[in-house]
Structure 1
Amino acid sequence: MAPSISQTITDSSDLTEFVISKGNGVKGLSQMGLKSLPKQYIQPVTERKVSMKITNLPEESIPIIDMSNLEDPKVAESICNAAEKWGFFQLLNHGVPIEVLEHVKQATHRFFELPAEEKSKFSKENSSSTNVRFGTSFSPEAEKALEWKDWLSVFYISEDEASAHWPAACKDEVLEYMKRTDILIKRLLGMLMKRLNVTEIDKTKEALLMGSKRINLNYYPVCPDPELTVGIGRHSDVSTLTILLQDYTGGLYVRAGTASDEDRWVHVPPLEGSLVINIGDALQIMSNGKYKSVEHRVVANGNQTRISVPIFVNPRPSDVIGPLPEVLASGEKALYKQVVYSDYVRHFFRKAHDGKDTVDFAKI
């Protein structure tokens, strides 16, 4: 008897052709009715959910902050405290309309429901722009075990460039989402900078903190054996800030442990209308470690598809990042050297997810 298509895909190098080259992604695998997980996706035991020490203590949940009263100084204080202690927090009443959030979630599903040949038009080999990429896992060339995720990544240059090259299935909603978060991003950075003795964010500082943006549409289809793999492996973001919209499926976990107990993880519960904010490596470096970028991961799901839409707020590729002069003005010793941001990002994407090891690239 001839092998079924699922046997052919999972038992040979044809998996790479099917998943990556032909644009089917893990969504294509998920729809094949596989009874077991292809070996290429089986993670080491240490990276699986079974190895996570998950804590459900109320005091070990990331802060949930209501921004409805911006005049209250406690709002800014709570945000800065969360950035220092947790590196993660959720915002309610943040000013981005719920309908904008819902529309971009719908657009994400719409893009990933396109036929494989349509999505593959945006792959590295076929995309009409280097700023638009459709792919799967994180860095398949560098990974020993693949992650159970497909993604579309768009780097914002201008509205004209986006209109010309971003996928029609989602570009309007993604652009609107990006525009409507701009005020929020500036407010957050203003609050965070004040605690670092930066009293005014001039054009030069603004360009350094948020001179470029990249938006991902992440798609985690139902997995045949979620206990053996991951949606995203342990990592911290290389951004200044990340603004994350997640659906109601759940599955995002943040490392909560201290140096003496680093294996505790807390779930970030999906809340209606909320946005999850996390500090990236760039801001950890610029704050000289005052604000923390924190490891996080996404588990695979055997029952539901999950989507998320992060906006990565970054320095410009050519910017040099290091501890801000205002932070070191009191004589504090610099913990990080000056590095070209594009060099830092290149180092991150050159390897598989490895927790917070990337930040060592910038340490003195």
Structure 2
Amino acid sequence: MVLLSKASSSVSSEQYSYTSNCMPTTFSSSSSSSVPIVDLSKPDAKTLIVKACEEFGFFKVINHGVPMEAISQLESEAFKFFSLPLTEKEKAGPPNPFGYGSKRIGPNGDVGWVEYLLLNTKQEHNFSVLGKNPEKFRCIVNSYMSCVRKMACEILELVAEGLKIQPKNAFSKLVMDKQSDSVFRVNHYPACPELAMKGENLIGFGEHTDPQIISLLRSNNTSGLQISLRDGSWLSIPPDHSSFFINVGDSLQVMTNGRFRSVRHRVLANGVKSRLSMIYFGGPPLSEKIAPLPSLMKGKESLYKEFTWFEYKNSTYGSRLADNRLGHFERIAAS
């Protein structure tokens, strides 16, 4: 059972306007492992990042260089948007695939106790429907995304250095490319007071891996995130509003030929406090060919068939959240 915070909710369930009641679920979680912490200002950062990507596919970064002001401003604007009446929020949707969505996650039947905004980082969006001060929202979003993109590239260059890959921008150039298919997502998980009274939890966002190269997550000081460990148990991640959490994505798993593992994770909704998370998904250009880097093979056979990011992205649209989406691209040894 995940312990719930006793803080009050910022947004009521009435404002969220779900038509169905909260569905209780009980989960077991592990506390035997601790999340790797990487100080990006230290010389050993590259070594610690590689180790964390191999063992967890996940780590926390401190001294990341993203101004707290940029973080708090965007969080404040996001809460203002999600506090609007449902009819106002729906003007920014439906997500096709970008825009506002609620409860439904993807086109294949997955649902969660979540509402969200999904934005493409290289396209202009109709911010006029996002609250009373859309130009302010636009500026704050762009400023924040610029900061986290820079951090993503720094981390990916440290990965290359740690793996002794040349050039060191082998990964980061894909995110910095003008055609990079990166996306930005803001998830809001409203409190569910009925569960708080019973001490129960429910799925906010079901278990999945991220298909892109790398994900940078920041959330408000509310619990809920869990990652899957190698033994299949779930580790609850203590919230830390001043740090970022980094996920290895499917594409990076392929490019390292399985040396790094794309982390399976999920979110449990909080019974008494709303949770807001902001995730930058660093993705390659649509035409980019994804395959293990030759410098990492050293005579080893590739575990994956080569594919373009466009092909992989399309394949994910036909899958459920919990599916092993890389399964279609694995090389199966002849028996």
Q: Residue 363 in 1 paired to residue 333 in 2?
A: no
CA distance in 2 between partners of 1:151 and 1:108 (Å): 10
- Counterpart secondary structure, 1:135: strand
- Greater gyration radius: 1
Cα distance change of structure 1 residues 42 and 163 upon mapping to structure 2, 3 Å threshold: closer
Q: Which residue pairs with 2:309 in the alignment?
A: 341
Aligned match for 1:236, one of 183, 206, 209: 209
Tell me the amino acid that sits aligned with residue 87 of structure 1: G
TM-score, reference length from structure 1 = 0.77
CA distance in 2 between partners of 1:216 and 1:86 (Å): 23
Cα deviation digits, residues 232-264 of structure 1 (max 9, x gap): 1010101100000111011100112x3xx31x1
Cα deviation digits, residues 129-184 of structure 1 (max 9, x gap): x67311123536422x62110010000115xx258778316322211111112321
Tell me the amino acid that sits aligned with residue 142 of structure 1: N
Q: Which residue pairs with 2:318 in the alignment?
A: 350
Aligned match for 1:273, one of 232, 238, 242: 242
Aligned match for 2:228, one of 255, 262, 265: 255
- Counterpart secondary structure, 1:148: strand
CA distance in 1 between partners of 2:16 and 2:83 (Å): 17
Determine if contact 1:139/1:352 at 8 Å carries over to the other structure: no
Tell me the amino acid that sits aligned with residue 31 of structure 1: E
The structure with the largest helix share of the pair is 1
TM-score, reference length from structure 2 = 0.84
Cα distance change of structure 1 residues 156 and 140 upon mapping to structure 2, 3 Å threshold: closer
The answer for unaligned runs of 5 or more in structure 1 is: 1-26
CA distance in 2 between partners of 1:94 and 1:315 (Å): 22
Cα deviation digits, residues 242-292 of structure 1 (max 9, x gap): 000111011100112x3xx31x11111122410111100010011101111
Cα distance change of structure 1 residues 358 and 184 upon mapping to structure 2, 3 Å threshold: same
Q: Residue 132 in 1 paired to residue 98 in 2?
A: yes
Aligned match for 1:75, one of 45, 49, 56: 45
Cα distance change of structure 1 residues 204 and 305 upon mapping to structure 2, 3 Å threshold: closer
Q: Which residue pairs with 1:184 in the alignment?
A: 151
Determine if contact 1:148/1:232 at 8 Å carries over to the other structure: yes
Give the superposed CA RMSD.
Answer: 2.9
Q: Which residue pairs with 1:55 in the alignment?
A: 30
Give the fraction of aligned pairs with identical amino acids, expressed as a percent.
27
Q: Which residue pairs with 1:193 in the alignment?
A: 160
Q: Which residue pairs with 2:195 in the alignment?
A: 225
CA distance in 1 between partners of 2:40 and 2:142 (Å): 23
CA distance in 2 between partners of 1:322 and 1:195 (Å): 19
Q: Which residue pairs with 1:153 in the alignment?
A: 118
Determine if contact 2:153/2:175 at 8 Å carries over to the other structure: no
Tell me the amino acid that sits aligned with residue 227 of structure 2: V
Determine if contact 1:137/1:146 at 8 Å carries over to the other structure: yes
Cα distance change of structure 1 residues 54 and 133 upon mapping to structure 2, 3 Å threshold: same
The answer for unaligned runs of 5 or more in structure 2 is: 1-9
Q: Which residue pairs with 1:116 in the alignment?
A: 86
Alignment of 1:297-336 (within 5 A): 297-328=266-297, 330-336=298-304
Q: For structure 1, which segment, 181-190 or 132-141, has the greater mean C-alpha deviation from structure 2 after superposition?
A: 132-141
Alignment of 1:194-213 (within 5 A): 194-201=161-168, 206-207=173-174, 211-213=180-182
CA distance in 1 between partners of 2:69 and 2:299 (Å): 48
